[in-house]
Homo-oligomer: A and B are copies of this chain.
Amino acid sequence: MGIPVSTTSCANCRLADICLPYGLHSNEIDLLVNIIQNKRPMQINDTLYRQNEKCCSLFAVKSGSFRSFITNSEGEEQTIGFYLPGELIGLDALQSGHNTCTTIALETASVCELPLASLNELCVKIPSLQLQMLRILGKEIISDHDKIILLGHRSAKERLATFLLMLSRRYGALGFSNIEFNLSMRRQDIANFLGITIETVSRQFAELTKEGIISINRRGVYINKLSILQAIVEPCKTDPECLMR
C-alpha cells in the first residue's frame, strides 16, 4: 500500500496527553512518529479490520468513534466496546496476531496506524514506551473488569446510567461538554453492548427523562442532573471513566 508516512507529529496533536506518547521525551516521540502510518479517513460503517484476519497493527483513534464486535457461529453480533479519540484499538490481536473481533467506524473517523513489528522494536529502544504499553494494557484489563461487573451484577437502569456517565466523562476528558453530546451509536448497539434489548434501552431512557435526570432526542443527550446519575451508579463504584474501551 502506497500510503505515505505521517507528516503530522504527535507533538502537535491535541490528543498527545491521553494517547500513546504520553510521558515520552520529545526525541522519543520523534521515533514514534516515524513508524506511524496515516490511513485515509473512514466513513460510517467502514471496516477498520475484520474478525479472524491476520493483524499486524494497532490503531490509535484520531477522530470519530468506533465499535468493536464479535460475531458468533450463529451470526449474532456481540458488541465488546466503543472507542473514542486517543484510544488504542486492536489490543486483542497481541496474543495470536489475529483479530478476535471486527471494528467499524460509527461516523466519519480517522486513525493512526502503528505497525506491531516497528512498535515492538521501538519498545526495546525506549523502555518508557514499553512501560506505557503495559500501562495501557493494564487499563484495558481494568476497563474489561468493570464491564464484567456491570453485566454480571447490575440492573438495566444502572447499566444505562453507567453508559451515559462513562460517555460524559470521556467527552469531558477530550475537552467537549460532559453534559451535552451526541450518541454516535444506534440504540441497537447500546442494547447489545449492555446485554439488554433495544426496547429496554428505550424504556429506561424514557424513565430517566420522566424523572428529569436527562433529556434525550434521538441521538442527542443532555444530562440535567449529573449528580443523580452518579448516585444511580454509585454502588458500582468502579471508575466509569475507563468502562468504554
Q: Identify the A interface with B (CB < 8 A).
A: 70, 72-74, 76, 78, 80, 91-96, 100-101, 120, 123-124, 127, 130-131, 133-142, 144-145, 147-149, 151-153, 192-195, 234-238
A80 and B148 contacting across the interface, CB-CB below 8 Å: yes
A120 and B131 contacting across the interface, CB-CB below 8 Å: yes
Number of copies of this kind of chain in the complex: 2
A100 to B140, CA, bound (A): 13
List the B side residues contacting A237 at CB < 8 Å: 72-74
A139 to B148, CA, bound (A): 16
B141 and A194 contacting across the interface, CB-CB below 8 Å: no
A70 and B238 contacting across the interface, CB-CB below 8 Å: yes
List the B side residues contacting A142 at CB < 8 Å: 92, 95, 100
A153 to B149, CA, bound (A): 14
Q: Which 4 A-B pairs have the closest CB atoms?
A: A94-B138, A152-B195, A95-B138, A144-B144
A234 and B73 contacting across the interface, CB-CB below 8 Å: yes
